Chains A and B, each alone.
Chain A
């Protein structure tokens, strides 16, 4: 230690500088260009799914990964019409009790085994009907699946079940599973739910938990010449601001379900290197609803609920809070579900006067501070956009004399409070209406869906014999016109009784590199699309 300090420190500084300089060699932009050149797509994913099989857990983020690997029998195009995928043709008998699927020949699983009707029968009877969270209801009427030959699967029903085809027409909702790897096991503990084997255009390669999931091109894909991309890397990026930065640096090329905070969107939308797509969510038809607890007076008075509906300016909420990425809702079946949506319902236009009048009629007079009564509002714990929605509603209701107290908690506490303890006055929840009302809407209005402890069911305690009758009749009505009429009645009744105030149809954003084309072609977009056609424009 005879050297002087200054020399030592000079040396340290010099070596640090060398270190920093040597690492400068690879700027992010160059990396992104190399990715595009080599056909490597980087997909931002958050949160990381627990495993990879949507047949037993329908987390949307899980579908983003599995739909590239595992395919369904059919898919819904952007008009919600079924199109062939693993089934080339299908036929429905006049009585609606027999569905015959002709399977595509020469389709192989990624391990080389042929895909046959036995796989279809196993998947539907043993997995989708038994353990799929929604399949238990959607496929309940299936009695058997006959397999007269390897390329024919015949589904027999006990009663007509029109929503069934919709449920089967998505690689996200109902992926076909390889019987030879799953038969005889409990799917939830089968090792292949962490290393999926499917028939899709991409083959699962590697999953480094907390970091990335790697898929590679399937050289033996049944559609010749596809896929066009060579690899897909799903990168787990949980911080919203960091995600936005990764899009701007080109480190990721695509992300779904509004991957960046809406407050960043005005800046991002101006970036010519990025493009914004809002199609591809019709299958889920996401929307925001204000659920009101009918157990709590004065909320059990329909006049009070109507007053609340009149007091919230849904147009402004869409523009101000959601930056225009939404559409004010008028009924509980969103407009994206074109076959059943109705506007012929009681409307609650924004009117402070009407709201005040209704509250007066309900006997709720303003107190000394101008407030009529106080209620709580639980924020949906999914980020700042929902927080700002709550703040907006609070301001709006204050104008008519309702004092709103906002409450925050984490997701598990929220679930427990709303769906088990029913300890809330109101909340602005986020739901998927899905392509058929039996999948996402009936659970909110059916008295049989008041199931303590089950999340995303009827939490408002709305019970109506009329409503139950309509919902149950629509479940197995085979005639489309009659079924549609039932759902029109259902919407009219829902908007009259108003246990739930529809706020806004959410328009989720798929953000992508503007060089990436044809990533959204089905109704389930990046969540259920297999990306066989996606490519980078050079």
Chain B
């Protein structure tokens, strides 16, 4: 695909990738739609069932209102046509447009995801570097054991254990929610309140990735330490800390950046569990509930949003490569 007007290679890369993303996302939408339609039961049955009552007329009315009385291929067609005008549809269950539902919940999830990822990157990189400096010595062993433990603990269990220890027994942190409700807190006080609520969910979400990045960072630091240019740098008389941070660390970052790009999507999956355990009012839980409520419009909207996020984060990673390592050229 040629876009001759655009001169900057980076903009061209971004443009091309965005164009290629359109058919990809359309395919994702169709796959999701078909998969969701294969699940038995529909939103009308669930609503009527929860109401513990219902008549045939009540169900028929609900189905007609939800558009479920139409043939499946027409439902898909209507959905795609609307999507073309950037209309994500209406969630009949929540009596709200899908877009407004998603936008309401997105900030909470992004806060959780970015903090979790931030924690993982910073702590993971730091521990990886610390471990690589003293290979097979006490410090390295302690860090490695910690990493293996964190790597193998199930997210769900970890969350519950944190609640038991730090909320129920010690009373340090609230067991759930994003902030003290209807407390009238403003400004800095409110920020601190949110921060206090964030500690346990972010730890739960981030710990697995901390462990992963520690392992990756350690391995890749060790690899770079053995390369010739490090020997050259040492011969030049540079201090060990300068070599570690400026020469080795920067080169060792690439594998971790790759992982971040790939894992951004998985992180959203992890946030489903974390949001459920900590009653965090985010998108993951909304999606999880939508599955059991067969709220297809909402679920399609959230999945679409996720695929867009993953595509965008992958483009971002590609751009970051070239910034971190000038040898990688954008063509």
Contact = CB atoms under 8 A, between A and B. Distances in A.
Given A208-B281, A212-B181, A251-B174, A137 B54 contact: no
Contact of A136 (B57, B164, B168): B57
Please indicate which of the listed interface residues B61, B108, B180 has the most CB atoms of chain A within 10 Å of its own CB: B180
Given A50-B95, A242-B175, A455-B45, A211 B65 contact: no
A133 B281 contact: no
B-side interface mostly: helix
Nearest to B283: A210
A210 B281 contact: yes
Given A189-B95, A411-B49, A242 B65 contact: no
Interface in A204-249: 205-206, 208-212, 214, 231, 233, 235-239, 241-242, 245-246, 248-249
A235 B175 CA distance: 12
Contacts of A25: 192
Nearest to B179: A211
Contacts of A206: 182
B95 A133 contact: no
B192 A23 contact: yes
Given A209-B94, A411-B46, A456-B53, A28 B39 contact: no
Contact of A194 (B47, B95, B292): B95
B204 to A, nearest CB: 12
Contact of B289 (A5, A31, A47, A131): A47
A246 B175 contact: yes
Contact of A19 (B42, B50, B108, B195): B195
Nearest to B101: A209
Interface stretch (B80-88, B224-232, B271-279, B310-318): B271-279
A407 interface: no
B13 interface: no
A134 B58 CA distance: 10
A451 B56 contact: yes
A185 B49 CA distance: 25
Interface string A410-442: 111111110110000000000110000000000
A51 B292 CA distance: 17
A245 B175 contact: yes
Contact of B168 (A208, A245, A415, A453): A245
Interface of B: 39-42, 45-59, 61, 65, 93-96, 101, 104-105, 108, 122, 126, 129-130, 133, 160, 163-164, 167-168, 171-178, 180-182, 192-193, 195-196, 199, 239, 241-242, 244-246, 276-279, 281-282, 285-286, 289, 291-294
Given A23-B195, A416-B40, 15 more contacts: A9-B126, A25-B192, A28-B175, A31-B174, A50-B47, A51-B95, A133-B58, A208-B104, A208-B281, A238-B276, A238-B285, A239-B279, A242-B160, A249-B168, A251-B177
